[in-house]
Structure 1
């Protein structure tokens, strides 16, 4: 059955994904006053073939008298409502960003965090909402210290948002705002959470400003796209005008992924700090090409697990390579009877994540003596509480050297394991499925459907399909505690 013209137009617009906004601009022009094909192409900067496809779809709804085009009076209101034309040029409000930014965790220099201003977060959200059709789409933030996710949520409540970050404090802060943003933990050197891969229409990232960091974050962002034809990667990056060679290296790293730089907005982002680059960075819009998907995995394999990507500290290009946990955190469960893992370069999250990832009966882990999970009694208690249903821990500070500590983990042998133990020993499984099985083992009277319903409620919105190991630490603690 033939579509009504308005439905055919909607199909054309939908086919352009988040880039359909330009087509809505064409429709708006056709509702306002007579125009010509040449004017539509030139004024709205849309290829002639695209404009012609939209006009063919509108067909009989167009008044084509003379040499001009306009939608007939009888259908203008329907088009206006269908394509939300009345709000097309509205600039969304983004209230409260100063308070949100002020309350966020302090910047972590070891992770190259330099905080963007609250006004930058607001302008990012307004630009994204004014450039792309975000309603019903998914934005993935690859790293989000600047709280771009919360700004976009306030600008466009209908967009789905995912944040992936290595900073547990940040994930807890964003999650605590109750904004319905899906938060996942990942050290991007070891991979992207499977639940995030192929899920997004638009990616935003403000990566470490090294060629390796930019390529890694953009590469993971490309892996997060589900719309390979219309998806966009938006990146903040800046270099000093005194060092244009560094800017060239980074731009070559972008092109090495076969991404096309579609646009660049100079000095769009401003920061508290980063004075070496003028406390500013540009906003790049990158778009995948068909060749991107041919080279992406090879480029990321070259970086994954061994590339130090930051400009400062032990994780910098001059620091100790991050090889220790690569096999453990970058793959599936590792089988062994006994294992020693060198986590000397652990920036903080690796220790707990390795204990979650392994089901080895006896594990010895070497970590910095000042490791966040060992530095005081409260931190040690929190680590034991997190993994205690799975591993008994012996923590030995200043061993085998003054700057090192040893963590000895012994797998608990409780049979059958309680629900929390079952969950922790299946950290690579989907949370909803593992929780269901854990609940049924703990309470044989539960039916499968009852256990599934309870598991979904415990996991929370959107988390049932994720792996436990990819959840933020506070969410894992909440599940095991429950």
Structure 2
């Protein structure tokens, strides 16, 4: 049975994914009155073949006269409701970002953080909300020091938003805003959280401004896309007009992923700092080509585990490259009676996550002597508390040299049952793992009761995630259940 014209039109719009906004704008134009095909193509910047497909789908719902087309009066209200056309008239005005940015964690120069202005965050959100069909879509922010996620939430309450970042402080801050944003921890050198891969319609990122950093963040963003035909990657990147050769290297890194640069908005972003690039950067819109999916994993394999993607500090291109924990944090569980790992290039988060990821009876980890988890007694107490249900820790400062420390971990038993189960199953789907943990801790619970408690404790965004991918504050909270 042939579909009703309005449903056939809906199928054409849906097939365009987040790019379907222009098709909805054409529908709004056809409600206003007659228009010529060539005018629709030009006014809404859609290929003629796409405009023809939309008109063909509308079929008998169109009036045609002397080369002009319009939607019949009897179906206009149905089209307004079906395609949310009143929403096109709404131009979001995002405000209040200055206060949110002022309360955010301080910029971390080791991670190339330079804060964008509040006006930039607001304009990003307004531009994204008026360029793409965000309602019902999934936006993933690959790094979000500028709080673009919170700005977009204010512009479009109906979009699902996920933030992936290496900065635990930032993830805790975004989570504390209770804006319905899913937060995951990841060092992108070791991969994406599996639950994020293949889930997004739109990516936003403001990456480190090195060719390696841009390629890594865009590459992981591409891996996060579920809509390979219509998905877009929006990136902030700038270079000094005095060093165009650097801009060329970065643009080649983008093209090396077989991404086409679909648009570039000059000086769209402004920053507090970054004066070397004029305190500004351009906004790039990138789109994968079919060949991108054939070469993406190979390109990212070249960057996997590389310590040096930033422009400042020990993780910079000038820093000494060290062996990182790629096998542990980038793969599945590692089963071995004894494990020794060189974490001497750890920028901060690796130590705790390696201890969570491993189940070996005996572990020795080499870390910087000034590691954030070791530098004072409160930090050491917090680290011991985090893994106490699985490991006893021995912290050997200034060994084997004055700039290094050794962390020895020995498996223990007899701790809280639920916490031990969670820590020893850190690679499993969290909803299932926590359910089993609760059943072991309280055998009187039914399976259904344990499932319900697990779902309530975790929330829908994290049910299929791994414990290993949660922000550290969320892990600590779950271990107290």
Task: Indicate the residue corresponding to 2:423 in structure 1.
Answer: 424
**What's the counterpart of residue 269 of structure 1?**
269
CA distance in 2, matches of 1:40, 1:363: 65
**How far has the Cα of 1:461 moved from its partner?**
2.6
SS at match of 2:340: strand
Please state how far the C-alpha of 1:414 moved relative to its aligned partner.
Answer: 3.4
Q: How far did 1:94 drift?
A: 1.4
- Output the CA distance in 2 between the equivalents of 1:458 and 1:322: 38
Q: 1:95 deviation in Å? A: 2.4
Task: Please give the per-residue CA displacement for 1:151-194, whole angstroms capped at 9, x wherever unaligned.
Answer: 00010000000000000000000000000100000000000000
The answer for the alignment partner of 2:310 in structure 1 is 310
| Corresponding residue of 2:447 | 448
Question: Aligned residue for 1:189?
Answer: 189
Does structure 1 residue 459 correspond to structure 2 residue 469?
no
Give distance in 2, aligned partners of 1:473 and 1:327: 21
- Cα displacement string for residues 337-373 of structure 1 (whole angstroms, at most 9, x for unaligned residues): 1222111111110100010011111111111111111
Structure 2 residues without counterparts, runs of 5 or longer = none
Separation in 1, partners of 2:322, 2:141: 23
Q: Which residue of 1 aligns with 2:98?
A: 98
Q: Is the 2:307–2:345 Cα contact (8 Å) retained in structure 1?
A: no
Deviation at 1:27, TM superposition (A): 0.6
Q: SS of the residue aligned with 1:263?
A: strand
- Residue 8 of structure 1 corresponds to which residue in structure 2? 8
- The residue that corresponds to 1:167 in the other structure is 167
Q: Could you tell me the TM-score, scaled by structure 1's length?
A: 0.98
The residue that corresponds to 2:209 in the other structure is: 209
Q: Is residue 269–residue 283 contact of structure 2 (8 Å, CA) maintained in 1?
A: yes
2:383 corresponding residue in structure 1: 383
Quick check: 1:230 aligned with 2:221?
no
CA distance in 1, matches of 2:445, 2:322: 45
Q: Look up the match of 1:145.
A: 145
Following the alignment from structure 1 to structure 2, what is the Cα–Cα distance between the partners of residues 169 and 320? 26
Q: Structure 1 unaligned runs (5+)?
A: none
Which piece of structure 1 moves more, 406-415 or 199-208?
A: 406-415
What is aligned with 2:432? 433
| Contact 2:139 2:159 (8 Å CA) reproduced | yes
Contact 1:305 1:322 in 2 (8 A): no
Number of matched pairs: 481
* In 2, Cα distance between equivalents of 1:95 and 1:391: 47
Most deviating of 223-232 and 319-328: 319-328
Tell me the distance in 2 between the aligned counterparts of 1:17 and 1:378. 49
- The answer for the alignment partner of 2:33 in structure 1 is 33
Q: Is the 8 A contact 2:372 2:379 kept in 1?
A: yes
Indicate if the aligned counterparts of 1:212 and 1:307 stay in contact, CA closer than 8 A.
no
The SS at the match of 1:314 is helix
Give the stretch that moved more between structures: 9-18 or 220-229. Answer: 9-18
Counterpart Cα distance in 2 of 1:67 and 1:290: 36
Note the C-alpha offset of 1:306: 2.2
In the other structure, the counterpart of 1:329 is 329
Shift, 1:63, TM fit? 0.8
8 A Cα contact 1:309 1:316, kept in partner: yes
Deviation at 1:307, TM superposition (A): 4.8
Q: CA deviation at 1:321?
A: 2.2
Partners of 2:86 and 2:479 in 1: CA distance: 48
- Structure 1 CA distance for aligned equivalents of residues 294 and 104 of structure 2: 39
Quote the offset at 1:322 in angstroms.
4.6
Shift of 1:446: 1.7
CA distance in 1, matches of 2:353, 2:409: 13
- Taking the aligned partners of 1:227 and 1:324, their CA distance within structure 2 comes to 32
**Is residue 54 of structure 1 aligned with residue 64 of structure 2?**
no
Alpha carbon RMSD of aligned pairs, Å?
Answer: 1.1
Confirm or deny: 8 A CA contact 2:263 2:285 kept in the other structure.
Answer: yes
Write out the 4+ residue segments of structure 1 that deviate beyond 6 Å after TM superposition. none
CA separation of 1:322 and 1:144: change in aligned 2, threshold 3 A: farther
More divergent stretch after superposition (185-194 vs 449-458): 449-458
Q: For the residues of structure 1 that align with 2:27 and 2:413, how far apart are their CA atoms?
A: 66
**Contact 1:140–1:162 (Cα < 8 Å) also in 2:** yes
